[in-house]
Amino acid sequence: MQKIDVCFSPELLPKYEITDKIVVVVDILRATSCMVTALACGVAQIIPVMEVEECKEWQRKGFLASAERDGKKIEGFDLDNSPFSYQNPDLIGKTIALTTTNGTLAIKKSKDAAQIIIGAFLNISAIVAYLKKENKDILVLCAGWKGKVNLEDTMFAGALVEALQADFDVATDDSLMAQILYNHAKTDMLAVIAKCSHIKRLQNLGIEKDIEFCFQIDKYNVVPMMNGDFLEIVA
Ligand code: MLT
């Protein structure tokens, strides 16, 4: 039986063998929620990059570019990291370079994986169906916050473990911990995360509406996957 593991932070990624695994990158608030929304709403490709300067290079080449640090849009870029900004018909068919505080770093650090797919509550059932069909070992990589563990990404990881436990071996304590956290929180996740650090950060920035949006279940039926340097819909 294939296995499912959870990595709570990119800092722990070196502890995991990923060359034969599907890595599901999650950054609920808000990078992967944003990416799923953008691609579901017609953006053709996203180019995740780690550094702001690299994102600026893509912009100089004529691409739209989005840059966020600490929840705020960086001056001089076209877009921020709110999922609402990507529901714009003007973006249909476009390719957008994107750098965020944690989410794009987690994607780039997963480069040696067999496959990298993008998970959020917004597309969780599509991810579950894809993983069952592929039937490969899975590592859920939580983007966390600047190397630290966070609540919302771990809850998502637990939701995936819960949904896949009949088909995959819940291999290690990290998967079990995430699953226990999710089962504790699942009846009212927004209430459970109300005090978490990134919620407070986003509230201080006056972007509470993004929080509720990112916790919607199955708003979109898409599976974004990295294809070289480009993130696009594979299913
Ligand atoms: C992240 O990369 O951690 C988040 O996307 C930051 C944010 O958008 O608030």
* Each residue's pLDDT tens digit, 16-37: 999 999 999 999 999 999 999 9
pTM exceeds 0.75, yes or no: yes
Identify the CA nearest to 119 among candidates 129, 109, 74, 111. Answer: 129
What domains appear along the chain, each with residue ranges and CATH number? 3-228 (3.90.1560.10)
The residue whose CA has the least distance to atom 6 of ligand 1 is 71
Position 195 scores a pLDDT of 83
| CA–CA separation, 170 and 5 (whole Å) | 7
> Closest by alpha carbon to 122, among 207, 46, 32?
32
* pLDDT for 77: 98
Instruction: Tell me: pLDDT of 127 over 90.
Output: yes
Q: How far is the CA of 175 from the centre of ligand 1 (A)?
A: 23
- Give the number of the atom of ligand 1 that is nearest the alpha carbon of residue 143: 3
Strand duo 22-26 + 115-119: pairing: parallel
pLDDT digits (tens, 9 = 90+) for 141-178: 999 999 999 999 999 999 999 999 999 999 799 999 99
The verdict on the CB of residue 9 being under 6 Å from ligand 1 is no
Ligand 1 atom at minimum distance from 104 CA: 2
Q: Tell me, using a 6 A CB cutoff, whether residue 101 lines ligand 1.
A: yes
Q: Which of ligand 1's atoms lies nearest the C-alpha of 80?
A: 8
CA-to-CA distance for 181 and 200, rounded, in angstroms? 20
How far is it, in rounded angstroms, from Cα 234 to Cα 227?
9
Q: Give the single-character DSSP code of 78.
A: S
Contact (CB, 8 A) for 42 and 228: no
Q: How far apart (Å, rounded) are the C-alpha atoms in residues 170 and 70?
A: 33
Q: Which residue has the tokens 């819909």?
A: 233
Please tell me if the CB atom of residue 48 comes closer than 6 angstroms to any atom of ligand 1: no
pLDDT band at 199 (very low <50, low <70, confident <90, very high): confident
Residue 206 makes CB contacts below 8 A (sequence gap 6+) with none
Tell me the average pLDDT of the chain: 96
Residue with tokens 């797919």: 117
Q: Compute the residue count for the chain.
A: 235
Work out the angle between the directed axes of helices 173-185 and 151-164 (0-180°, nearest 10). Answer: 100
Task: Say which residues have a Cβ less than 8 Å from residue 209's Cβ, sequence separation at least 6.
Answer: 84
